[in-house]
Structure 1
Amino acid sequence: MGIRNYVWITGLILALSGCTKEAPEVSQSVSTEQAVHPLIAGINWADARDNFVDGWVIPSGLDAGDDYASVATKSNALYNGVISNLPGVNAIRLPINPPSVTERWRTAYQATIDQALNKKLKVVLSCWESSATKDGKIDNLDAFWQMWTIVINKYGQQSDVYIEVINEPYGYSLTQLSTIYEQFLARFPNLPRNRILLSGTGYSEDVNGVGADVRFKDCLLALHNYAFWNTRTQSEWEANWQTRYGAYAARTIVTEFGAGMTTGKNYTGAGGNDNEVAYMVGSTNVFRNTNLSSVYWPGIRDGDSYSLLNKSGTGTGITFSVTNPSGVARVRFGWGY
């Protein structure tokens, strides 16, 4: 990864003020010294197959045959690389599903959580559905409740573990989704509400409906938005984000956003007519100006052109390189740096 020292990073960040025609307005209103850092500033660590899998989710760098000690060793090295290459990162979002929690993989996989906590990273655990159905709904409700019962019994009292109930529940109407969330809160009454993330409707793309429900007033809200959904100018992307979180910015965590990082685009240069550049600049402007928590998709995932970090090696010999320093600079700018 290309970020090797603070001086180099500082040069990138200071350069942001002159990068695009619209960027100076942001840098004038919020300087690096004035920045307020959000609750969660993180990345996703994802399965190379994507997190929609039949069976265990196995994030890139782990193997199905690993035991707890092996996963702990690999996770420790990985988090060291993440922290050194992404200064200011404070959270990791990890996928789970019922097979990963109710079968033997759980014993090994929980080392990813434990090692993150040892590194003082916050952990967001989010439930993915399988690839077999992939209809935006919970595959098996009984297995879903069993999974969360096990997880919450283990980590429910860990103040740095956040629970994202369902990833991208696009198969449900607002009423149906709200019913599931109400059932979740009833089943786990002792889980602090300010560590529960309720995804917005659609592909977690609008939190206004869930946010307005008084039953969930003490819960956080999970929001996703991607440039491949539409083409907009930088200012249009900024306005679009604001419509998606509405009056609920203080409760919203953007648990996924991302753009191509291995394509050589300059996210601190002139945006021109490039939709991804407009998206990244506009998105991170919004995050910074509203102190909106954000988790980039993905920080680490083998073979993903959106990945911020390229991983090589295994075990304690794992190393990282930055796929796009300008992309890292924009992500960190959104975190308030």
Structure 2
Amino acid sequence: MNWADPRDNYADDAVVPSGLSTSDSYNTTYAKADAIIRGFHTQLAANTVRLPINPYTVNGSYWNSYTGAIDAAVADGFKVILSYWEGAAHKDGLVDDADAYWTMWNTVTSKYANNSAVYFEPMNEPFGYSLSAWSDLVAKWISNYSTVPKNRIFVSGTGYNDNVTGVCADSRFDGTYLSLHHYGFWASSQTSYSWWVNDLKSRIGSCASRTVLDEWGAPMTTGVNYNGAINGDAYIAYMQADSDTLRSLGMGSVYWPGLRNGDSYSMTTLGGSGTNLSLTLNNVTGMGRLRWSWGMDNQQWTRS
């Protein structure tokens, strides 16, 4: 599950996942995160959470509290992917401030490099870079943090994380994971199941064994039946195609978002107050499609 800031994770201040607050102490953040992470597990059978970071979060005072969310997830048996988001003011697909960026990663890796449950994604959606420029930046990241095992690094695909074939071919990234994004709104006029299958596979190439779809999602608060007949609905076609393809290729995925207040794609809704928080499921067929993509057979979801 992606756990996101209600404003989106592009922020010119600290990123604050839904339900948390910059005024919370470490212990309060830990307690809130524990409730939400447990909700992801009980409601969705999830075992991984992807969390945003930026220099405002890590290089300032909020980091001491924010680590409570990371630590709670690890204590609950989750894997944690920490991904850098650029700020909202630039939003040009480039690292905003190189010095602040490297200071951030120095702090993050110093704390979590030896924690086998924590994974690192040098940048989310690096669309401002050419393949060669992006690959060189990632290679520098790997060199700078050579104590981080390669199998705990997620190398984003080029563009909006929309194609991993280029980074997959770079031998400098052998042994890493590759992160891909795929969304129905990218081609909302396409209602063909086979079109969506072919589109996703073309973005993966021969790299499925290393690739995690760490963002994909569709509206979950509108009552759509994602197991129903497609009947000209691009999102049903997309969800059925992606979930079937992920399952057939044995790929992992991280849904966008597991929780984000105000987002119609959110798989859950946050309830409660203080540290007494709970999650409710927004769409049982969406949840089923997600579980199906993960290879779970508790319910037999069939494409109509």
Scaled by the length of structure 1, the TM-score of the pair is 0.86
In the TM superposition, 1:1-337 aligns within 5 A as: 43-87=1-45, 89-230=46-187, 231-232=189-190, 233-337=192-296
Unaligned ranges ≥5, structure 1:
1-42
**Distance in 1 of aligned mates of 2:277 and 2:34:** 10
Q: CA deviation at 1:220?
A: 0.9
Partner Cα distance (2:176, 2:43) in 1: 31
Q: Could you list the per-position Cα deviations for residues 96-146 of structure 1 after superposition, in whole angstroms to 9, with x for gaps in the alignment? A: 001100100000000111000000000000000000100000000111111
Output the amino acid matched with 1:335: W
Q: Is the 8 A contact 1:77 1:315 kept in 2?
A: no
What are the Cα deviations for residues 52-89 of structure 1, in whole angstroms up to 9, with x where unaligned? 011100000011111101101111111122111112x1
- Secondary structure, aligned partner of 1:45: coil
Q: Deviations over 1:273-295 (max 9, x none)?
A: 10000000000001101111100
Deviation at 1:315, TM superposition (A): 2.8
SS of equivalent to 1:130: coil
User: Which whole-Å CA distance do the structure 2 matches of 1:172 and 1:49 have between them?
Assistant: 25
SS of corresponding position for 2:83: strand
2:242 & 2:93 partners in 1: Cα distance?
A: 25
Further displaced range: 92-101 or 77-86: 77-86
Say which SS state the counterpart of residue 123 (structure 1) adopts.
strand
State the one-letter code of the partner of 1:305.
S
> 2 CA distance for matches of 1:302 and 1:116?
19
CA contact (8 A) 2:184 2:234 kept: yes
Rounded to whole Å, the distance in 2 between the matches of 1:320 and 1:129 is 28
Give 3-state SS (helix, strand or coil) of 1:311's partner: strand
Runs of 4+ aligned residues of structure 1 deviating over 4 Å after TM superposition are none
Aligned partners of 2:178 and 2:210 also within 8 Å: yes
Contact 1:73 / 1:315 at 8 angstroms: preserved in 2? no
CA-to-partner distance for each residue in 1:13-62, whole Å, 9 max, x for gaps? xxxxxxxxxxxxxxxxxxxxxxxxxxxxxx10000000001110000001
Q: Which moved more, 1:232-241 or 1:56-65?
A: 232-241
Task: State the TM-score, normalized to the length of structure 2.
Answer: 0.95
Of the structure 1 ranges 53-62 and 181-190, higher mean CA displacement relative to structure 2 is found in 181-190
Deviation, structure 1 residue 307: 0.2
Contact 2:28/2:275 (CA < 8 Å) preserved in 1? no
Higher relative contact order (CA 8 A, sep 6+): 1
TM-superposed deviation, 1:317:
2.1
Paired letter, 1:220: Y
Supply the distance in 2 between the matched residues of 1:218 and 1:76 (Cα, whole angstroms): 31
Alpha-carbon distance between aligned partners in 1 of 2:81 and 2:22, rounded to the nearest angstrom:
22
How far apart are the structure 2 equivalents of 1:102 and 1:329?
39
CA contact (8 A) 1:74 1:314 kept: no
Partner of 2:301: none
RMSD across aligned positions (CA): 0.8
Q: CA offset at residue 161 of structure 1?
A: 0.7
How far apart are the structure 2 equivalents of 1:209 and 1:80? Answer: 37
- Paired residue total: 294
